[in-house]
Chain A
């Protein structure tokens, strides 16, 4: 069985290759950045992932993200180990994904340089659990490239990630997620 995301990317790729409308510009990256911050009374934890894949459809506003859990890197090896083995169970759930839309895409002109606020909503899947998420992001368009950034919070418990009581002062219940993507035009 092929993985779902694998199928998704193949499907997107086929769609892109066969897209008839020349105006429907797509943007993508394979090395976007997502980091998260946990600010608990005893400890601040930060991890960065620089291998984020994302596709944005400039016409429909459809937007997709996928990350590999094992590509999140921590300063401390022990934290990275606990994150993978105890909390996110990356051996069992190697990916996290977001599938959604920029709801106000009609008000955003990606062909005109400028700064836009995007209302984003969709479904986030982490640790095998899917939850609706909505947030805002900033799009900075210049010369055919788009810099997209967003900051939002998620509750660890929403994704059935269990934090043992002994470390409850070390790991925050709400973590902050920061997204920074440099989209490139997909040449057709």
Chain B
């Protein structure tokens, strides 16, 4: 009987431990994650414009690494920055929302950059979130 109680207590402790761990589970560490796919901004936009559903099957929710030419750099009121990477279409870019700790001070339109982040789909632009700068 005592043994049963002990086992029950241990199980309960494990349960609580797992619960606390799950509750506090951190967001995916994108800086350390290996990208599921590597592509260019032009190819990514083209793939989405050709067939959004097929593109989502490949990219949606995945951590991807994207290279391209900077079209614009903007910093919002909350201090986070976004970089627009040019595609062949003037109306569509890859919009990369950077993580708060990323420094864009040295980045200017025309520069070639590579970012890594989570692809969340396409509106006017293909959106890549929580990005870190690779170079």
Contacts and interface: CB of A to CB of B under 8 A. Distances in A.
Given A13-B91, A51-B95, A31 B82 contact: yes
A2 B53 CA distance: 7
Interface in B66-85: 74, 76, 80, 82
B76 A78 contact: no
B21 to A, nearest CB: 10
Chain A, interface SS category: mixed
Contact of A30 (B48, B76, B95): B95
A78 B23 contact: yes
B60 interface: yes
B52 A70 contact: no
A70 B122 contact: no
A188 interface: no
Given A6-B49, A31-B76, A53 B124 contact: yes
B129 A71 contact: yes
Interface residues of A, number: 28
B52 A30 contact: no
A5 interface: yes
A13 B27 CA distance: 36
Interface stretch (A87-95, A103-111, A113-121, A157-165): A87-95
A80 B125 contact: no
A90 B127 contact: no
A167 to B, nearest CB: 13
Contact of B127 (A9, A68, A80, A84): A68
A41 interface: no
A77 B127 contact: no
A91 B123 contact: no
Given A3-B53, A68-B120, A77 B60 contact: no
Given A30-B125, A51-B97, A80-B27, A71 B61 contact: no
A54 to B, nearest CB: 10
A1 B50 CA distance: 8
Contacts of B95: 30-31, 51
Contacts of A94: 56, 60, 120-121
B51 A77 contact: no
Interface in B59-110: 60-61, 74, 76, 80, 82, 91, 95, 97
Interface of A: 1-3, 5-6, 9, 13, 30-31, 50-51, 53, 66-71, 73, 76-78, 80, 84, 90-91, 94-95
Interface of B: 22-28, 48-49, 51-53, 56, 60-61, 74, 76, 80, 82, 91, 95, 97, 118, 120-125, 127, 129-130
22 contacts: A2-B52, A3-B122, A6-B48, A6-B122, A9-B124, A30-B123, A31-B76, A50-B80, A51-B95, A51-B120, A68-B120, A68-B122, A70-B60, A70-B120, A73-B130, A76-B23, A77-B25, A77-B27, A80-B27, A91-B60, A94-B56, A95-B121
